[in-house]
Structure 1
């Protein structure tokens, strides 16, 4: 069964280029293109794709608002595209519900991989964006405590040892398949662990799980190769 994709970007050459790359894959079908956020939202409503590849900066309705509407009204997964790894809208996009973030100069193979990963239910951030995100989180931890007044680490008390380790591996960027290999269990078991982590910590998705892992100190920037 093909992964159904809508590509939205206000630059026609970029849009058509990404579409050609994706459409060349045997398991991916580009079912529509859009030139702005409003067209992207309309295309998702009309075609019900699995993944929306969405430029973050577009005239009229931008990618942030489009992502918010799509994620709030459908099961479509959103990958945001940006020209700059330090884009100030990264957080807004993540909180709008985006499941992935890529730079527009992404390599062909990485673009295809990203669509497959997000369609499978995982989340993904480009390495440069992840480094920026982590650096900002670490900075915030140094100057502020959790809003509920409890020490950040206490948020993890509800997790079992295996769930805590699952969160640690999520923060390192491992997919469900890679976590399953590390634990020597089935992917179904890992999906259960991930679901429990998100539910117990009141997190929407894996991206928020990564943020939580750094905010609580479970993962520290610089350890195990983290940037």
Structure 2
């Protein structure tokens, strides 16, 4: 069975070159071509190709088109064929559900392999670049896990907010109806959880976790936090 493929790129010579090159492959059938994001959506709706190969830098909102196709037309696998070697962009696009990310400059054989790979239900990323993307994704996941571990409990948030007002341990204990010893315990926990050395660093670290409004710590840094 031939794999039906469509190409979308706003560079006419490149587009014609792709169509001409891959029309000669016995396992591929070129069913359509286009030049912009609107064409990409129209092609998927009208032809339902097994694989859609498209550029990021073309007229229209290519990213929005990719996201819509990945969500609504799941029988079509999307390969982004681009000169954009930004790791952040690649991760964003892959998270939208595309099956392949191939850098322009790759060989004709690489793109052919990418088409076959995504048709088989797997993900393809250009060699070399794939390692960087995977490492970046692992680092981001580790960061998310660490932030989840650092998430504050309701009581801890209350104590941090009292710290922002310059409250002493005794005042915090009175307001929250707990013992001063319990407040000291929470302070120890907060400093360990947020890797902070003192009360001010607790507040600044909590602000980075979006527990506190931006700028609040700086405005009160001269208060009774220390």
Q: TM-score, normalised by structure 1?
A: 0.60
User: Counterpart in 2 of 1:72?
Assistant: 71
1:142–1:99 Cα change, 3 Å: closer
1:27–1:132 Cα change, 3 Å: same
Is the Cα–Cα contact under 8 Å of residues 85 and 128 in structure 1 kept in the other structure? no
SS in 1 for 2:32: strand
User: Counterpart in 2 of 1:126?
Assistant: 126
Q: Deviations over 1:26-64 (max 9, x none)?
A: 1101110010111111011000110000111212122x2
Is the Cα–Cα contact under 8 Å of residues 8 and 40 in structure 1 kept in the other structure? yes
User: Counterpart in 2 of 1:6?
Assistant: 6
**Whole-angstrom distance in 2 between the partners of 1:144 and 1:72:** 25
Structure 1: state its 5+ residue gaps.
151-227
1:47–1:107 Cα change, 3 Å: same
User: Counterpart in 2 of 1:166?
Assistant: none
**Whole-angstrom distance in 2 between the partners of 1:142 and 1:148:** 10
Q: TM-score, normalised by structure 2?
A: 0.60
Is the Cα–Cα contact under 8 Å of residues 67 and 97 in structure 2 kept in the other structure? yes
User: Counterpart in 2 of 1:42?
Assistant: 42
User: Counterpart in 1 of 2:102?
Assistant: 102
Task: Indicate yes or no: 2:112 matched with 1:112.
Answer: yes
Is the Cα–Cα contact under 8 Å of residues 53 and 80 in structure 2 kept in the other structure? yes
Structure 2: state its 5+ residue gaps.
151-226
